[in-house]
Structure 1
């Protein structure tokens, strides 16, 4: 059985922005003195880093006969075919081809994705859209648990 795990971490540039938010907070508090400025630097950077880290903590896992994507856990029996999406096709499925009933774990900084049909008649979700940096590996892992 093939397993797969990926964390959709935020890009490095977002961490630079988090540091810049700390500097901006420090500059806003500079007229109040050195201690408030240092507090603004540490507090602003820490808050921005927590936000970036939490957004980039989403995980996709294929283990023990199920797909776990963010908060969703879907058994292999409910999964249909997995379609690997290149950047252009992924953009189309995020926009004009999207179904409002679909479960989407998207990250704008990841251009490729996998679209997996959901075959459970009790579930109104037509498909699962997952942003992934390794769509072929995820598709292969999903095919392995369905077999």
Structure 2
């Protein structure tokens, strides 16, 4: 399957330092179980590392995609025709929109380890969501993909 020019895909993977933390969590569990013997200590090391690694991998497996005229962010699937102009947020402005400027009705796909973001107004009058806030490492590319997908959707509908 060939993706259109408007396609975009990003996985919000956890930073490398989190994998070290996963190992250290395993070491901690191993040390807790050390008084019980060598085998429980090794089992604790393996289990603690594995469980925390699965948690970090799961948290970092969320994807943002623009494909087929839709923005797919995590579990949300929004037609690009229902979205306004994307606004690229620098780290300071993204923090403001995550905190005191945030609207509780908005859809937010946040990852604290990603400092930049994209905010897109929802223009569908039937949708109570005022905007979509997405943490992204490449807000310029995502904004361009959304613009291209919206333009392609408008061309298909003859607007």
Range into which the TM-score falls when normalised by the shorter chain: over 0.9
Per the alignment, residue 144 of structure 1 pairs with 148
Q: How far apart are 1:141 and its partner, in Å?
A: 0.3
Per the alignment, residue 4 of structure 1 pairs with 8
Residue of 84, 93, 101 corresponding to 1:89: 93
- In 2: Cα distance, 1:76 partner to 1:103 partner: 15
Q: How far apart are 1:140 and its partner, in Å?
A: 0.3
Superposed CA RMSD in Å reads 0.6
Q: How far apart are 1:65 and its partner, in Å?
A: 0.3
Over residues 36-90 of structure 1, what are the superposed CA-to-partner deviations in whole Å (9 max), with x where a residue is unaligned? 0111001000000000001101100000000000000001111111000011110
Count of residues paired in the alignment? 147
The answer to whether the aligner puts 1:19 opposite 2:23 as a matched pair is yes
For structure 2, which runs of at least 5 residues remain unmatched after alignment? Answer: 152-159
Per the alignment, residue 50 of structure 2 pairs with 46
Q: Which runs of at least 4 in structure 1 moved beyond 3 Å after TM superposition?
A: none
- In 2: Cα distance, 1:117 partner to 1:2 partner: 19
For structure 1, which runs of at least 5 residues remain unmatched after alignment? Answer: none
Q: How far apart are 1:122 and its partner, in Å?
A: 1.4
How do 1:56-135 and structure 2 match up within 5 A?
A: 56-135=60-139
- In 2: Cα distance, 1:40 partner to 1:119 partner: 51
Q: How far apart are 1:12 and its partner, in Å?
A: 0.4
- In 2: Cα distance, 1:89 partner to 1:29 partner: 46
> Scaled by the length of structure 2, what TM-score is found?
0.91
